[in-house]
Amino acid sequence: MESFVEEIAKLIVTKNLFSLLLLFEAIWILFFFPGGIAAQGLKSTFDIEFPKQYPAIFWFVALAIFVTALVIAIRKIQKKPPALPDFTERKAIKGLRAFGEDDAEIFAQLQREKDLRECLESLTSNSFRFGILMGESGVGKSSFLQAGILPQLAREEISAQGIYIRFSNRDPFETVYQTLVKELKISETANDQQNLLEIFSLAVAATDKSLILIFDQFEQFFVHCKQKSDRKPFINGLKDWYLASNPLPIKILISIRGDLADRLIEIQKALGYSLSPQEVFRLERFTPEEATKVLQVIALAEELKFDEGFVRQLTAEELASREDGLISPVDLQVLAWTIEGQDSKELQAFSRNAFQKIGGIEGLMTRFLNRTLEARVTEVQKQAAIKVLFAMTDLDRNVRVGALTIEDLQQKMQGTLTASEIREATQWLANPGVRLLTPVQQDGTELYELAHERLIPALREVAGKELTSADKANQLLDRRVNEWLGNRRSSRYLFNWRELGLIRQQKPFLVWGANHKNKEKLLQRSWRRLYKQLVAVGMVLVFGLVGLGWWYSPQGQIQQVRWELPDLSERVSYEYRAKAAIAFLKNGNLQQTSAIVESISDSYFKAEVLTTIAETYGKIEDFPEAAKSLEQAIAA
């Protein structure tokens, strides 16, 4: 019962009129269908006679509900979006996705030769054991590792084997273990899969080469292991490996976002290492000269027209940062993607005319996101896509939340979108022609993650209207949780149904902050109170409907007459009072009979009634009462 009421509450709060109408239609047909079981039960229980026009009324109401639901459904039907170009075979333009090992040939031409050479020299030197690769979001760290470092380590003359391990929201031990098992085809199972040293030992035994483990997106380790106690087991595992008396032939390179690199101090203190300049690598953005050469390579590979003079001016004056004059690789990719995606062949060019037509460079990422979302036919579809993108974002830290399955998203976004809307939006966002989400395969399961963290500021800007309501929800949540805690968790500070509706609708945009647990408790108690209130209201409605049905039933009508007769008897003649008293007597209501007899002051009618009462008692052989009534008749 509680679950049923909870589901109805969610439908009301989320204003899911379509589902509510279907529910009402089912109840209407079940309980009020002419000749149906429920209708016959009501008829026999309350002795109700339906009017002759009832079947027509029934079908009119049923049809009206159906047509209304149909209209709402038609408005929600999502038209098939226009066909999107297929980017599967594209080599040089990746949009927001990283280059992979298969792209080594094209990546070698993208101005990273010096960085690759320095990093490889350090990784393959005998003295190297542990190092760090850092760089800001969008600089191309994952591409550098997958399309640059890994293919170079795969050369025959290299005695080490590189293994790429991408960290996400999964357990770090599981991430490392499962990747090593897959890449090295390890058949033996680790006795303790939470023991990093044992996992490393199995990996070493499975190959005749030394291993270079590349931990990419390592900021996810700190994002998802929020407490120091959560991080301690894995850091202790790294410590056991690093300080082992007989070191294993394993080297580790950690790749992390530049603005989160200070979090590695925790690992440095545990391991006690002191890194040299040859063990710390910083991937920088491109100079205008390098950016021009990168765009030239892209244009040649994708057969796009290239005006070198214009592009040199463009990179120096438009694309370069006003602070340091450098250009982010991801901006070049978005620019190239925008150019290639133009309808006209004339505009598919790195030329002044093409750039004027697409509106210039200002706000490139925001316009790129807007242009992509314009492919969504309806505003409902567009908002669904935006909400899914926000669900993939940790707004507290401005980072990705990690890889999630569609089922994870449906659970996380419950109450904001339907399961089918979430599935459709997710699959569309991961479409090769969209690429705002990246599909990830883990143990045969398909997961999805935000294509790039550079999307987050643009996403906030694009969703500005949506975030207006989100800001209200966040402010309400912050203020109310402080009031609730400051007043000893008093129930008067729980949310009402309107406030809960606002918070549920903006769930993907909520910033939980340090008060996460208290906010969740406040919401849980508020929902629990709302469910109790709905149950109480439902019970009142049920009893009210039952009482109303009884009121208009034959039994109810008779009872109403019984209640009204005593009052009416005082306003009629003694003759009719006497008849009323006899009627109550025959109905077995002695109390009302006695009351009416007492109200008759005329001795003739009173004696007549008392004589009749005596006769009635005589017929049922209650002689004492019969004698008593006769005595009263004589006395009257």
DSSP code of 4? H
pLDDT on residue 97: 84
Helix (H, G, I), strand (E, B) or coil at 439: strand
Tokens representing 533 are 């209130």
Q: Phi/psi at 75 (nearest 5 deg)?
A: -65, -25
Q: In this model, does residue 370 exceed pLDDT 70?
A: yes
Q: Phi/psi at 400 (nearest 5 deg)?
A: -70, 150
Question: What is the full DSSP assignment across 215-239?
Answer: EESTHHHHHH--SHHHHHHHHHHHH
Q: How confident is the model at residue 5 (pLDDT cuts 50, 70, 90)?
A: low
Tokens representing 424 are 């459709």
What value does the mean pLDDT take over residues 591-620? 73
End-to-end CA distance of the chain: 63
Cα(507)–Cα(387) distance, rounded to whole angstroms? Answer: 9
State what percent of residues in the chain have pLDDT above 70.
82
Question: Whats the size of the chain, residue-wise?
Answer: 636
Cα(13)–Cα(516) distance, rounded to whole angstroms? Answer: 23
Residue from 272, 323, 333, 330 nearest 301 by CA: 333
Contacts for 179 with CB less than 8 Å, ≥ 6 apart: 163, 164, 165
Q: In this model, does residue 476 exceed pLDDT 60?
A: yes
Tokens representing 501 are 């509706």
Burial, 554: exposed, middle or buried (Cβ in 10 Å; 0-12, 13-18, 19+)?
exposed
Q: How confident is the model at residue 541 (pLDDT cuts 50, 70, 90)?
A: confident
* Neighbour-count burial for 197-208, b at 16+ CB within 10 Å, e otherwise: ebbbbbbbebbe
pLDDT on residue 556: 72
pLDDT higher at 390 or 371? 390
pLDDT on residue 531: 85
Q: How confident is the model at residue 575 (pLDDT cuts 50, 70, 90)?
A: low
Per-residue pLDDT reduced to its tens digit, 283-300? 999 999 999 999 999 999
Q: Could you tell me what percentage of the chain is helix, strand and coil, using 3-state DSSP and rounding each to the nearest 5?
A: 60, 10, 30
Per-residue pLDDT reduced to its tens digit, 608-634? 777 777 777 777 777 777 777 677 767
Cα(312)–Cα(107) distance, rounded to whole angstroms? Answer: 21
Cα(629)–Cα(614) distance, rounded to whole angstroms? Answer: 5
Q: Are 574 and 605 in contact (CB under 8 A)?
A: yes
Cα(450)–Cα(424) distance, rounded to whole angstroms? Answer: 16
Q: What stretches of 504-571 adopt beta strand conformation (E)?
A: none
What value does the mean pLDDT take over residues 503-517? 77
pLDDT higher at 46 or 531? 531
Contacts for 412 with CB less than 8 Å, ≥ 6 apart: 391, 404, 507, 508
Question: What is the full DSSP assignment across 341-383?
Answer: T-SSGGGSEESHHHHHHHT-STTHHHHHHHHHHTTSSSHHHHH
Per-residue pLDDT reduced to its tens digit, 423-460? 999 999 988 667 788 888 777 788 998 887 778 888 87
Q: In this model, does residue 282 exceed pLDDT 90?
A: yes
Cα(121)–Cα(128) distance, rounded to whole angstroms? Answer: 10
Q: How confident is the model at residue 550 (pLDDT cuts 50, 70, 90)?
A: confident
pLDDT on residue 613: 75
Cα(279)–Cα(282) distance, rounded to whole angstroms? Answer: 10
Cα(463)–Cα(454) distance, rounded to whole angstroms? Answer: 15
Q: Which helix (H) or strand (E) holds 523?
A: helix 516-551
As separate numbers, helices (DSSP H) first and strands (DSSP E) second, the chain gives 30, 11
Residue 46 carries which side chain, given as an amino acid letter? Answer: F
Q: What is the pTM of this model?
A: 0.59
What class has domain 554-635? mainly alpha
Please tell me the CATH code under which domain 369-462 is placed.
Answer: 1.10.10.10
Q: In this model, does residue 58 exceed pLDDT 80?
A: no
Other Cβ atoms within 10 Å of 44 Cβ, number: 9
Q: In this model, does residue 88 exceed pLDDT 60?
A: no
Q: Are 412 and 392 in contact (CB under 8 A)?
A: no
Other Cβ atoms within 10 Å of 540 Cβ, number: 10
Tokens representing 445 are 């399961």
CATH H-level, domain 112-282: superfamily: P-loop containing nucleotide triphosphate hydrolases (3.40.50.300)
Q: In this model, does residue 13 exceed pLDDT 70?
A: no
Averaged confidence pLDDT in the chain: 82
